[in-house]
């Protein structure tokens, strides 16, 4: 599994990354089919958009600057030409005026017509106006000038004037300019300047374009080499990093790092490599963690069930991987671990589990695989060798390791024992799961046979398990098809022989196609299975309902008799027990005191405070409560005082042996006294002989039940039995 998943969608150009639940779109375009290997092709530089932008900007900037310079130069060229014209005109005029004056001595006409005509033909002068220094007009030759001397008089005197078309240019030469007492206005033909300028511009444009082109090329090539190439190189590396961030095929930078760009590329390359390294590290750490979570138990750090099964497969392949390995699987369940958890709390329970795991691991060889496969279940798989050929031997060793010394948790010592099941591969199956299951079946057998035992798997166990499944299936059918019925065994007051009631005992009539049509299956064969599967709950409800209805019929006949109903542990902890009992009594019309519920001691011990509450609630309904099979469990006398019970029922084993085993007689006696001291009635069950009856009578037992008086019978027979003996059994002294 990869935490960082890259998705390049072929049809899309944008690469996206999926990091956890976030999708990040990278704002980078990768052209379809583009191979990201960097080459310094000039074409790459020329095809770069940024390069074109730089080129265009550069070209026009240089062009603009040159145009500005040329414009300025043209202006000063024109000015320079005009100044030159004025100078030429001035010197020509001075020499003409001087010559004329010397020739004619006529100061009033400084320039002769002939002179003026010669001037016009030899120079660019096209018109002359001459004024005396008092502004009186003296002469006019050639073109009429535009400048008027009145302007000079009005103070708006202009020194020169260029016509808007640029065809003529006029200048005013004053007495200071001419060194004569005249003012002259000269007009020049300037059309030739335009031609010159045009020629000049034509040449300049060509030069400007060439210069712009040259500068652009120089800049583009420089930018391309010094800037764009490194940027393109960096882009290539980044694209590769995006394509495969974990293993980017980045090239080392060929650029010198003694400048900012080279340094940046070098840093970026290092960053990409660092990032890849980080991703690899995170990924590998995540994978390690996932592996640990998937294959190890977090409490004990031992392999879990999945890993254990995989390891078993490896062991099964043998050391050389060709021959089949032989190994044993030992499954260990800590006895009464639930009690430790319930009474001491989960902290202690967890600490014990950790300690057991540690002890198992350290006491077994390296070749053994030790795993925790369920809450308080450990499994060990260990290769069988020439020295150790028997899995049972290992099972016993493990059992001893656990109970060899108590486990110290905080300051307390806990003596832990375990039930152990052993199976062998390939003797008990070639499928590892099956072998593990078989060790579990063996373990269950060890638990059933009294715990703290080591049992090796046998096919018979399997058959027993199959049988249980079959019984469960049939029992479900029986419940649905009314094959269950109740028998009633009378209970008698020992003092006067009065029938005080009966115990309802379930019977399963199982049709089998035989001559008799079927047979009764004893409750001992199916009640424990029903209890384990939870089927006891609907069965118990049916028993209660049927017993109440029967008791109500007897009640209607005028007999005040009580029917005792057995309630098993699973029913006792059923959340709606109180409500169901209350409704059932009400529906049947039975007086609540004519119903008694029998519960065994072991049921209370699972959760004493809950037991007290439930018993109080049940008692609150007005019914009676009895402790069944009293003396076989391990009731605490202090709790017994808190239970709102009416009756102790001495277990039949004590009655059976009372006459030949003084211990049992003394237990029976003690129970009777204890019951009386707590103001409880005491009933003895399993009374079969007059001697037993005499013993109980002697000991002041209150009530009796047993084959001596009547065996359990159908309701009709019970009904007839009461009628027959008018509610009293004979021979009770
Ligand atoms: P239990 O409640 O202790 O019932 C007394 C058992 O002793 C009954 O066996 C009864 O037939 C037997 N018994 C009575 N008198 C004598 C006698 O003098 N000698 C001998 N040898 N046995 C005698 P049963 O009917 O086979 O029931 C066995 C157990 O199955 C019951 O023991 C009870 O724990 C359970 N059970 C029976 N019916 C129900 C039921 O409806 N619900 C639940 N939860 N358990 C039931
Ligand atoms: Mg009973
Ligand atoms: Mg009993």
For 676-720, the pLDDT digits (tens) are 999 999 999 999 999 999 999 999 999 999 999 999 999 999 999
Helices (H) and strands (E) in the chain, counts: 25, 24
Structure-token pair, residue 517: 């049509």
Residues 698 and 701: their CA atoms lie apart, in Å, by 8
Q: Any residues with CB less than 8 A from the CB of 284 and at least 6 apart, and which?
A: none
Residue located nearest, by CA, to atom 11 of ligand 1: 712
Over residues 447-464, the pLDDT tens digits come to: 988 889 999 999 988 888
Ligand 3 center to residue 522 CA distance, Å?
Answer: 14
Alpha helix (H) ranges present in 519-588? 523-533, 536-556, 569-572, 577-588
Residue 550 confidence (pLDDT): 97
Ligand 3 center to residue 652 CA distance, Å?
Answer: 7
Residues 414 and 111: their CA atoms lie apart, in Å, by 147
Residues 317 and 313: their CA atoms lie apart, in Å, by 7
Residue 304 confidence (pLDDT): 96
**What is the average per-residue pLDDT within 395-422?**
93
Residues 208 and 226: their CA atoms lie apart, in Å, by 26
Q: Which candidate, 170, 168, 165, 166, places its Cα nearest to that of 151? A: 170
Asked if pLDDT for residue 3 goes beyond 80, the answer is: no
| Closest ligand 1 atom, residue 649 Cα | 3
pTM over cut 0.85: no
pLDDT over 70 for what percent of the chain?
A: 90
Q: Which ligand is nearest to the CA of 546?
A: 1
Residue 406 confidence (pLDDT): 94
Asked if pLDDT for residue 81 goes beyond 90, the answer is: no
Residue 647 confidence (pLDDT): 97
Residue located nearest, by CA, to atom 17 of ligand 1: 686
Pairs from 315-323 (Cβ < 8 Å, separation ≥ 24):
315/369, 315/381, 315/383, 315/425, 316/425, 316/426, 316/430, 316/432
Structure-token pair, residue 661: 């085993």
**116-130, 527-541, 551-565: range with highest mean pLDDT:** 551-565
**Ligand 1 binding pocket mutation candidate from 506, 507, 509, 523 (most atoms within 8 A of CB):** 523
The pLDDT-based confidence of 106 (bands split at 50, 70, 90) is low
CA 502 to chain centre: 61
Over residues 144-194, the pLDDT tens digits come to: 888 877 665 666 667 788 888 888 999 988 888 888 888 889 999 998 888
| Closest ligand 1 atom, residue 571 Cα | 44
Asked if pLDDT for residue 1 goes beyond 60, the answer is: no
Residues 338 and 319: their CA atoms lie apart, in Å, by 39
Q: How far apart are the first and last CA of the chain?
A: 83
DSSP 3-state assignment of 611? helix
| Closest ligand 1 atom, residue 540 Cα | 42
The pLDDT-based confidence of 432 (bands split at 50, 70, 90) is very high
Report the half-sphere exposure of 582 (CA within 13 A, side-chain side).
10
Which has more pLDDT, 1 or 437? 437
* CB-defined site of ligand 1, < 6 Å: 489, 505-506, 522-524, 527, 540, 543, 566, 568, 598, 628-629, 652, 685-688, 705-707, 712
Residue 733 confidence (pLDDT): 62
Residue 31 confidence (pLDDT): 43
Residue located nearest, by CA, to atom 45 of ligand 1: 566
> Which residues, chain by chain, have CB under 5 Å from ion ligand 3?
628-629
Asked if pLDDT for residue 402 goes beyond 50, the answer is: yes
Residues 532 and 418: their CA atoms lie apart, in Å, by 21
Task: Indicate the average pLDDT of the chain.
Answer: 87
pLDDT over 90 for what percent of the chain?
A: 49
Residues 331 and 432: their CA atoms lie apart, in Å, by 13
**What is the average per-residue pLDDT within 655-681?**
95
DSSP code of residue 284: H
* Cβ 361 vs Cβ 297: under 8 Å: no
Bond into 336 cis (ω within 30): no
**What is the average per-residue pLDDT within 320-331?**
85
Pairs from 297-301 (Cβ < 8 Å, separation ≥ 24):
297/371, 297/372, 299/350, 299/353, 299/354, 299/357, 299/372, 300/353, 300/354, 300/357, 300/358, 300/372, 301/357
Go through the chain and tell me how many residues it has. Answer: 733
Asked if pLDDT for residue 28 goes beyond 60, the answer is: no
Residue 530 confidence (pLDDT): 93
Asked if pLDDT for residue 610 goes beyond 50, the answer is: yes
Over residues 244-270, the pLDDT tens digits come to: 888 988 888 888 888 888 888 888 888
**Ligand 1 binding pocket mutation candidate from 566, 627, 712, 715 (most atoms within 8 A of CB):** 566
Residues 204 and 433: their CA atoms lie apart, in Å, by 97
Asked if pLDDT for residue 310 goes beyond 80, the answer is: yes
Rg of the chain taking only CA atoms, in angstroms: 61
**What is the average per-residue pLDDT within 132-146?**
85
Q: Which ligand is nearest to the CA of 597?
A: 2
Residue 151 confidence (pLDDT): 62
Asked if pLDDT for residue 21 goes beyond 60, the answer is: no
Residue located nearest, by CA, to atom 46 of ligand 1: 566
**Ligand 1 binding pocket mutation candidate from 487, 505, 692 (most atoms within 8 A of CB):** 505
Distance set, CA 651 to CA 102, 425, 685, 689 (Å): 176, 45, 6, 16
Residues 561 and 491: their CA atoms lie apart, in Å, by 10
Asked if pLDDT for residue 612 goes beyond 50, the answer is: yes
Ligand 1 center to residue 579 CA distance, Å?
Answer: 26
Residue 340 confidence (pLDDT): 83
Residues 682 and 346: their CA atoms lie apart, in Å, by 39
Ligand 2 center to residue 628 CA distance, Å?
Answer: 6
Asked if pLDDT for residue 12 goes beyond 50, the answer is: no
């Amino acid at each position: 599994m990869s935490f960082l998943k890259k998705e390049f969608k072929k049809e899309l150009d944008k690469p996206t990354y999926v990091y956890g639940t976030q999708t990040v779109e990278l704002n980078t375009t990768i052209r379809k089919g583009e191979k990201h290997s960097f080459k310094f092709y000039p074409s790459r530089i020329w095809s770069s958009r940024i390069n074109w932008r730089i080129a265009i900007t550069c070209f026009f900037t240089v062009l603009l600057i040159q145009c500005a310079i040329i414009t300025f130069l043209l202006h000063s060229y024109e000015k320079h030409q005009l100044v030159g014209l004025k100078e030429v005109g001035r010197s020509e005029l001075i020499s003409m005026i001087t010559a004329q004056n010397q020739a004619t001595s006529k100061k009033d006409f400084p320039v002769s017509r002939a002179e003026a005509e010669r001037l016009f033909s030899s120079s660019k002068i096209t018109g002359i106006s001459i004024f005396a220094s008092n502004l009186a007009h003296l002469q006019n030759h050639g073109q009429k000038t535009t400048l008027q001397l009145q302007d000079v008089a009005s103070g708006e005197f202009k020194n020169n004037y260029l016509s808007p078309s640029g065809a003529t240019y006029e200048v005013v030469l004053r007495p200071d300019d001419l060194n004569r007492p005249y003012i002259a206005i000269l007009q020049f033909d300037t059309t030739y300047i335009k031609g010159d300028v045009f020629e000049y511009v034509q040449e300049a444009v060509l030069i400007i374009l060439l210069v712009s082109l040259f500068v652009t090329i120089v800049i583009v090539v420089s930018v391309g080499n010094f800037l764009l190439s490194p940027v393109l190189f960096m882009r290539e590396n980044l694209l590769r990093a995006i394509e495969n961030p974990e293993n980017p095929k980045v090239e080392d930078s060929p650029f010198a790092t003694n400048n900012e760009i080279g340094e940046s590329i070098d840093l970026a390359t290092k960053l990409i490599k660092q990032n890849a390294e980080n991703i690899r590290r995170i990924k590998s750490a995540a994978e390690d963690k996932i592996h640990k979570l998937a294959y190890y138990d977090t409490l004990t750090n031992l392999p879990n069930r999945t890993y254990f099964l995989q390891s078993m497969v490896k062991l099964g392949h043998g050391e050389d991987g060709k021959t089949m390995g032989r190994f044993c699987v030992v499954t260990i369940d800590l006895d009464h671990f639930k009690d430790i958890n319930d009474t001491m709390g989960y902290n202690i329970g967890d600490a014990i589990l950790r300690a057991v795991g540690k002890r198992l691991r350290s006491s077994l060889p390296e070749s053994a695989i030790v795993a925790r496969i369920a809450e308080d279940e450990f499994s060990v798989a260990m290769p069988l060798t020439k020295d150790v050929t028997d899995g049972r031997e290992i099972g016993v060793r493990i059992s001893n390791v656990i109970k060899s010394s108590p486990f110290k948790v905080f300051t307390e010592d806990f003596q832990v024992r375990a039930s152990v099941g052993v199976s062998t591969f390939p003797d008990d199956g070639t499928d590892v799961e099956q072998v593990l299951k078989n060790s579990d079946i063996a373990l269950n057998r060890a638990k059933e046979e009294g715990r703290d035992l080591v049992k090796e798997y046998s096919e018979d166990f399997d058959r027993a398990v199959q049988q249980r499944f079959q019984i469960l299936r049939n029992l479900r059918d029986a419940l649905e098809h009314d094959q269950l019925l109740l028998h009633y065994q009378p209970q008698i007051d020992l003092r006067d022989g009065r029938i005080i009631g009966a115990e309802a005992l379930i019977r399963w009539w199982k049709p089998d196609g035989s001559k008799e049509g079927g047979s009764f299956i004893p409750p001992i064969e199916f009640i424990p299975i029903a209890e384990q599967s939870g089927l006891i709950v609907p069965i118990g409800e049916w028993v209660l309902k049927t017993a109440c209805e029967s008791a109500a019929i007897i009640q209607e006949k005028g007999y005040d008799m009580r029917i005792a109903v057995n309630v098993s542990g699973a029913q006792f902890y059923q959340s709606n027990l109180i409500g169901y009992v209350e409704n059932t009594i009400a529906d049947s019309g039975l007086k609540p005191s004519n119903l008694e519920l029998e519960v065994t001691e072991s049921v209370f011990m699972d959760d004493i405070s809950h037991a007290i509450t439930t018993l109080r609630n049940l008692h609150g309904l007005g019914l009676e409560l009895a402790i069944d099979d009293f003396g076989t469990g391990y009731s605490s006398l202090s709790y017994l005082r808190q239970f709102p019970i009416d009756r102790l029922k001495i277990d039949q084993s004590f009655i059976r042996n009372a006459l030949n085993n003084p211990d049992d007689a003394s237990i029976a006696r003690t129970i009777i006294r204890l019951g009386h001291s707590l103001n409880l009635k005491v009933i003895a069950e399993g009374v079969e002989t007059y001697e037993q009856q005499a013993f109980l009578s002697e000991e002041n037992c209150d009530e009796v039940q047993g084959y001596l008086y009547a065996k359990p019978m159908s309701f009709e027979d019970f009904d007839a039995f009461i009628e027959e003996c008018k509610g009293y059994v004979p021979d009770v002294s």
